[in-house]
């Protein structure tokens, strides 16, 4: 992960199309809507480095590991107040940390808060006042007890000469579709409230698409925050550049006479730049497809789709490919096909880890559907039958017979929510091409078994490939729709 990689900024792809709006002072709050592995944490790291160069600008980076969350159920209003306190206390404690002497009431409050949170050693004044209790001293007037009114903290922040940027990452890790749902709703409401009312505060918060979609469905007030949303995505060309920059970094770290250095800062724009990237990648990978090509001999893969258009997962797949390639050799189709198995298994484990709080049977259910041995299940009626036979009747999920259809629908919704399943429908007048449906785009699908009954359901291509479920299929890759041919054998053996 980017936040745990000390070398990240050395090979990061600068996404100015996102860094520009994220650093725009006219946008007081931005909700960065991005999936795991899509580079959201890396984007915040780049943003933080840019902001730190500005005068009188303080950047406070926080993720869920920096927080102590309340236990038990909170109402939305209680959650809003909780987050107001947390966010303001982070800023006020920073103000107190920078104070040398504290005489005024607000200054003493800031210093005491910083000390109570462990971010500042006691200064000389507060140390003396701890030992000598002067009647009517500023400390006694402050009556500090750790519970500072929101209004007072807001005043302390507002009167500061600095500009404060709070970058809140992965706060949605607490989400389990239970009591924490109000805590997340409160977070989004609180950041919007504070950033708008405090002229010297800007807040950026990340959230995963399926969680934001669930929050919208469960709470209408989240719809009001749509104007603050920024969705992160990648094109196949950008993913190619991610791999090229990583390879360039790798070559520079591991000096070799066979290096093909990459100069991505060339003045000669696109053609030479594309040539350099292609040359570097082809030094390690043969026939490296980022989209399905009708002329390609492989016709087997589109790395962008198979990696969910997420750079971290694409890098992970490439590492797996190189791991099973003999040193000094180029990776080819044989290695790609072999790598799909461990890569697909890790994606299963990833989905299980991300959703097991809300869907405890998720891994067993995915394996049960894979065991059917087909990539597609046809229309909703057929999908329902498969789920009942493979998951309910095998007691992976227990349900009385009169509840089979209802429980099967809930299971189907959950498989769709995780992106293990996706829907598709034929595009009228487009031959054999299809339109594809994902939960983040159409959360309303599978509201009932009768809804849009002509939609076909299939396992996502990542798992189709990993578990050898597919012969030929149609996929949507980026904005292009191409037909994929039958599987072929790799050059180094069968798989």
| Mean pLDDT of the region 265-276 | 55
What confidence score (pLDDT) does residue 260 get? 42
Mean pLDDT computed over 265-278 = 58
* 243, 156: one domain: no
Among the listed residues 157, 10, 7, 15, the one whose alpha carbon sits nearest the alpha carbon of residue 84: 157
pLDDT at 213: 82
The phi and psi torsions of 153 (rounded to 5 degrees) equal: -65, -40
Q: What is the pLDDT of residues 436-460, one digit of tens each?
A: 888 877 888 898 998 887 899 999 8
125: which 2 tokens? 């004044």
* β partners of residue 32: 206, 230
Distance CA 47, CA 166 (A): 11
Residues 118 and 133: their CA atoms lie apart, in Å, by: 23
Nearest to 319 by CA among 247, 417, 403, 415: 247
**Distance in angstroms (rounded) separating the CA atoms of residues 413 and 390:** 16
- Whether residue 117 is found in the same domain as residue 145: yes
Q: Which of 311, 343, 375 is the last residue of a domain?
A: 343
Domain housing 157: 2-231
Of 173, 208, 193, residue with least CA distance to 77: 193
Tell me, yes or no, whether 386 and 251 share the same domain. no
CA-to-CA distance for 314 and 234, rounded, in angstroms? Answer: 12
CA distances from 432 to 157, 292, 338, 485 (A): 60, 15, 29, 13
Mean pLDDT of 471-482: 35
Structure tokens at 360: 């405890």
Query: Do 333 and 477 share a domain, yes or no?
Result: no
Give, in degrees to the nearest 5, the angle at Cα 229 between 51 and 9. 35
- Of 343, 369, 384, the residue at which a domain comes to its end is 343
Task: State how far the Cα of 409 lies from the Cα of 405, in Å rounded to an integer.
Answer: 6
Shared domain for 303 and 437, answered yes or no, is no
Q: 231, 252, 270 — which closes off a domain?
A: 231
Whether residue 334 lies inside any domain: the answer is yes
pLDDT-derived band at 108, boundaries 50, 70, 90: low
Mean per-residue pLDDT for 105-132?
56
Number of domains forming the structure of the chain: 3
What is the distance between the alpha carbons of residues 108 and 365, in angstroms, rounded to a whole number?
A: 57
> The domain spanning residue 90 has which CATH number?
3.40.50
* Mean pLDDT, residues 270-299 taken together: 67
Q: Domain check: are 339 and 398 in the same one?
A: no
Could you give the CA distance from residue 316 to residue 462 in angstroms, rounded to a whole number? 13
Predicted confidence at residue 458, as pLDDT, reads: 93
- The pLDDT value given to residue 144: 35
190 in a domain, yes or no? yes
In order of 210, 274, 294, 475, the CA distances from 299 in angstroms are 31, 22, 7, 12
Same domain, 211 and 302: no
Q: Please indicate whether residue 185 or residue 119 has the higher confidence score (pLDDT).
A: 185
Same domain, 371 and 462: yes
Residue 489 forms part of a structural domain: no
Alpha-carbon distance of 438 to 443, in angstroms, equals 8
In a domain, 492, yes or no: no
- Do 440 and 371 lie in a common domain? yes
pLDDT in tens, 37-58: 899 999 999 999 999 999 999 9
């Amino acid at each position: 992960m980017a936040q745990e990689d000390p070398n990240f900024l050395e090979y990061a792809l600068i996404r100015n199309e996102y860094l520009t709006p994220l650093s725009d002072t006219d946008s007081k709050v931005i909700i960065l809507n991005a999936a795991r592995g899509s580079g959201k944490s890396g984007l915040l790291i780049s943003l933080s480095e840019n902001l730190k160069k500005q005068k009188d600008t303080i950047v406070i980076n926080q993720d869920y590991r920096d927080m102590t969350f309340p236990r038990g159920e909170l109402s939305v209003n209680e959650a809003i107040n909780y987050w107001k306190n947390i966010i303001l206390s982070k800023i006020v404690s920073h103000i107190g940390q920078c104070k040398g002497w504290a005489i005024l009431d607000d200054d003493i409050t800031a210093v005491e808060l910083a000390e109570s949170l462990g971010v500042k050693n006691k200064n000389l004044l507060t140390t003396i006042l701890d030992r000598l209790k002067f009647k009517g001293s500023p400390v006694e007037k402050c009556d500090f007890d750790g519970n500072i009114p929101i209004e007072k903290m807001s005043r302390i922040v507002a009167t500061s000469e600095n500009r404060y940027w709070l970058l809140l990452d992965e706060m949605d890790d607490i989400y389990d579709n239970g009591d924490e749902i109000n805590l997340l709703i409160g977070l989004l409401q609180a950041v919007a409230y504070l950033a708008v009312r405090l002229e010297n505060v800007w807040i950026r918060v990340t959230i995963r698409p399926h969680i934001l979609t669930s929050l919208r469905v469960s709470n209408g007030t989240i719809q009001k925050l749509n104007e603050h949303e920024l969705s992160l995505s990648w094109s196949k060309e950008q993913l190619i550049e991610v791999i090229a920059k990583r390879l360039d970094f790798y070559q520079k770290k591991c000096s070799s006479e066979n290096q093909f250095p990459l100069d991505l800062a060339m003045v000669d724009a696109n053609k030479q730049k594309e040539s350099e990237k292609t040359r570097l990648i082809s030094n390690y990978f043969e026939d490296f497809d980022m989209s399905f090509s009708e002329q390609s001999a492989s016709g087997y893969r589109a790395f962008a789709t198979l990696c969910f258009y997420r750079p971290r997962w694409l890098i992970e797949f490439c590492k797996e490919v190189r791991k099973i390639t003999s040193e000094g050799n180029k990776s080819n189709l044989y290695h790609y096909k072999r790598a799909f198995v461990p890569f697909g298994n890790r994606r299963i484990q990833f989905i299980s880890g991300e959703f097991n709080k809300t869907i405890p049977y998720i891994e067993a259910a995915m394996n049960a559907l894979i065991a059917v041995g087909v990539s597609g299940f046809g229309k909703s009626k057929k999908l329902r039958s498969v789920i009942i036979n493979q998951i309910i009747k095998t007691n992976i999920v227990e349900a009385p017979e009169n509840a089979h259809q209802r429980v099967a629908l809930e299971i189907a919704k959950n498989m769709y929510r995780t992106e293990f399943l996706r829907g598709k429908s034929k595009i009228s007048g487009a031959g054999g091409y299809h339109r594809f449906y994902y939960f983040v785009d159409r959360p309303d699908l599978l509201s009932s078994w009768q809804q849009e009954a002509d939609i076909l359901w299939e396992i996502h291509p990542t798992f189709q490939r990993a578990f050898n479920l597919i012969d030929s299929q149609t996929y949507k890759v980026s904005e292009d729709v191409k037909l994929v041919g039958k599987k072929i054998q790799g050059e180094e053996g069968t798989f």
